[in-house]
């Protein structure tokens, strides 16, 4: 029996039987992501064009840091996301100058407006797709503010970095509250610093996990669809897999662990199966086999078929459509 989209998402989260795995797809749209109204229109249209089961909101990746002084270059073209122009932190003492911000301040406010607009436009169109807001871990925002010097400052001036993380965490919680009021189904909590390449496990527990959980605790009891995105390679996956979220998303097709191994670590719902790098050059006929491999590895219950991270915006549209169509051939 054909399931409704929210019903299908909930069944996957609860690891119940589904008519097919839920399907999600996301990529940056930098030619419109400075306009919350237009971005909401585009994301709803994408959901209809690709028959998505949910919407992951796609604010530009530096929104959380720009409000603390990061200077960015805004290309405003379809294929060039916003990039850092000048870091905000150039001296360790500057970390202590960061102060908590309201959840509707500056780019945080524009990002809340994306959620408000998706809710409003869906209501007008008679749609009811669950949508989740993107929120970055406090340490990730700190990395965006300072680049790689963050890790040097963590070790040489921990008190200053902790002061900044406390301010960023409070700001993130304020932002969470505003999005809850806007009607989000949950949050896509992205951590980009939980890698052995940059920090030890103890360092991540002190500077990452401690603040991560404060933000997650602000929404975990009020939402039904919360995702942890574990970005990068050589991650502290086993540690992060214990976070109180419903779903885990990571680069499962090119970074450890693979889906089959992850099933031995966590019983959470997995979101993945699509190699977002490979997808750009894949042939549509290859995609059925690619997705079938993921379903076999993870099992059809407790699985949503999505990219492991943002897809390339120059990926051919027919490949996005082929991903959805592949779910009818499992």
Question: What residues does each domain of the chain span?
Answer: 21-267
Q: What pLDDT is recorded for position 329?
A: 84
Average pLDDT over the chain, rounded to whole? 97
pTM over 0.85: yes
Eight-class DSSP state of 23: B
Strand-pairing partners, residue 189, are 135, 228
Instruction: Provide the angle, in degrees to the nearest 10, between the axes of the packed helices 138-146 and 210-217.
Output: 120
In the three-class reduction of DSSP (H, G, I as helix; E, B as strand; rest coil), residue 71 is classed as: strand
300-327 mean pLDDT: 97
Residue among 307, 47, 319 nearest 188 (CA):
307
Name the strands in the sheet holding 55-56, side by side, starting at the edge strand that comes first in the sequence.
Answer: 55-56, 131-136, 186-191, 227-230, 247-250, 269-274, 303-307
**Residue 253 pLDDT exceeds 90:** yes
User: Under a CB-based contact definition with an 8 Å cutoff, are residues 172 and 135 in contact?
Assistant: yes
Strand-pairing partners, residue 72, are 84
**Residue 41 pLDDT exceeds 90:** yes
CATH number of 21-267: 3.20.20.210
């Amino acid at each position: 029996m054909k399931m409704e989209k929210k019903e299908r998402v909930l069944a996957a989260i609860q690891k119940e039987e589904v008519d097919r795995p839920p399907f999600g797809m996301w990529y940056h749209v930098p030619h419109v992501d400075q306009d919350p109204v237009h971005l909401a229109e585009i994301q709803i249209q994408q959901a209809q064009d690709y028959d998505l089961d949910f919407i992951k909101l796609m604010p530009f990746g530096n929104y959380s840091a720009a409000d603390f002084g990061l200077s960015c270059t805004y290309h405003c073209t379809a294929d060039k996301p916003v990039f850092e122009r000048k870091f905000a932190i150039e001296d360790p003492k500057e970390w202590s100058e960061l102060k908590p911000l309201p959840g509707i301040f500056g780019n945080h406010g524009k990002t809340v407006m994306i959620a408000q607009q998706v809710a409003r436009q869906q209501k007008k169109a008679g749609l009811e797709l669950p949508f989740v807001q993107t929120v970055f871990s406090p340490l990730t925002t700190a990395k965006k503010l300072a680049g790689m010097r963050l890790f040097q400052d963590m070790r040489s001036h921990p008190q200053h970095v902790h002061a900044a993380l406390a301010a960023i965490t409070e700001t993130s919680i304020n932002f969470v509250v505003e999005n809850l009021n806007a009607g989000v189904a949950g949050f896509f909590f992205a951590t980009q610093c939980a890698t052995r390449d940059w920090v030890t496990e103890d360092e991540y527990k002190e500077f990452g996990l401690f603040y991560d959980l404060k933000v997650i605790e602000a929404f975990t009891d009020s939402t039904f669809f919360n995702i942890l995105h574990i970005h990068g390679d050589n991650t502290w996956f086993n540690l992060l897999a214990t976070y109180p979220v419903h779903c885990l998303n990571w680069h499962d097709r090119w970074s450890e662990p693979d889906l089959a191994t992850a099933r031995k670590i966590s019983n959470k719902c997995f979101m993945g199966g699509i190699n977002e790098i490979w997808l750009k050059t894949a042939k549509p006929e290859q995609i059925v086999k690619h997705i079938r491999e993921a379903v076999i590895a993870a099992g059809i219950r407790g699985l949503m078929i999505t990219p492991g991270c943002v897809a390339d915006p120059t990926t051919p549209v027919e490949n996005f459509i082929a991903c959805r169509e592949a779910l009818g051939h499992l």
